Amino acid sequence: MLIVLLALPATAQWSRLIVEPRDELRVDKPEAHPLKYFTEFPRLRDESGEFCYLCTPDKRLAEAKNEKAKTDVRLVGTTQNFAAYDVMYYFGDDSEPTWKSILVRIGPDSYREIYHDQPAEGKPNPSFLVKAGEATLLCLRDNIYRSDAVEECFWFGTDHVERLDFAPVWQAARKAVPPERRIWAYDLNPRTNFQIMTIPVGLRSDYNGRCCTTGVVYVRFKVEGGRVLVIKADFDPDAKY
């Protein structure tokens, strides 16, 4: 497969979403690296600060070299001339991945990490591409545990990748319901909902805050230039979530 790589302007902004037990979610802007930076001695990619705490750099490297670990690099897909890959990390004799990274190839053996997952509960899953109107997005649903999960989507421009902020959807849903009702601001379900560009938003129970009682807000949206724009929000008080 021939992949055409674009020259990236120096002003392109690349950020990385980090999921890890200590801080849950945080964002930084790391540099690009060759592929082996992410696949060789996986424990060196620890973002929790727990691996070989207080070790010298030499000791930390030695410990990472001695640990039984492997990586599996999988092509998720290509959009806007960028190839995106899942890197699954396995430690010890685990048959399921413990960590996950999403890398975007930006040049010959040059990769940007846009997502790094070290879950406290649940596990990583393969990422996937979905159509959202005219845009092709890279989405994920990781760390599923009870009623919780990490759901994120990334928009690909011509010179960088942007994490989509779905806050406008939840804000529109809140405005559409009576003041005393509370929404369930979860469950993007991109594979299903993005086909019709509408996210059904459920309502929390008045008794325990769990999802969901009668009533649904249908929020129609579009993705434009790396932004989520709400078109309309309709509240059906009799609908079942």
Average pLDDT of the residues in 192-209: 90
Amino acid at residue number 108: P
Residue written as token pair 């802007």: 29
How do the domains of the chain map onto residue ranges? 16-163, 167-236
SS3 193: helix
**CA-CA-CA-CA dihedral for 47, 150, 105, 194, to nearest 10:** -170
- Per-residue pLDDT for 168 more than 60? yes
- Per-residue pLDDT for 152 more than 60? yes
- Per-residue pLDDT for 6 more than 60? no
| pLDDT classification of 145: cutoffs 50, 70, 90 | confident
Task: Give 137's contacts (C-beta < 8 A, 6+ positions apart).
Answer: 129, 130, 131, 153, 154, 155, 156, 164, 190, 194, 223
Average pLDDT of the residues in 55-74: 91
Q: Which long-range contacts (CB under 8 A, 24 or more apart) does 99-104 make?
A: 99/42, 99/45, 99/124, 100/124, 100/142, 101/38, 101/45, 102/76, 102/127, 102/138, 102/140, 102/154, 103/35, 103/38, 104/161
Largest CA distance in the chain: 63
**Rounded CA separation 154/48 (Å):** 23
Q: Which helix H or strand E contains 61, and what residues bound it?
A: helix 57-66
Average pLDDT of the residues in 219-240: 96
Q: Which helix H or strand E contains 110, and what residues bound it?
A: strand 110-117
| pLDDT classification of 229: cutoffs 50, 70, 90 | very high
**Angle in degrees, CA 59, 61, 66, rounded to 5:** 95
Q: Are 199 and 229 in contact (CB under 8 A)?
A: no
Q: In the prediction, which pLDDT does 144 show?
A: 87
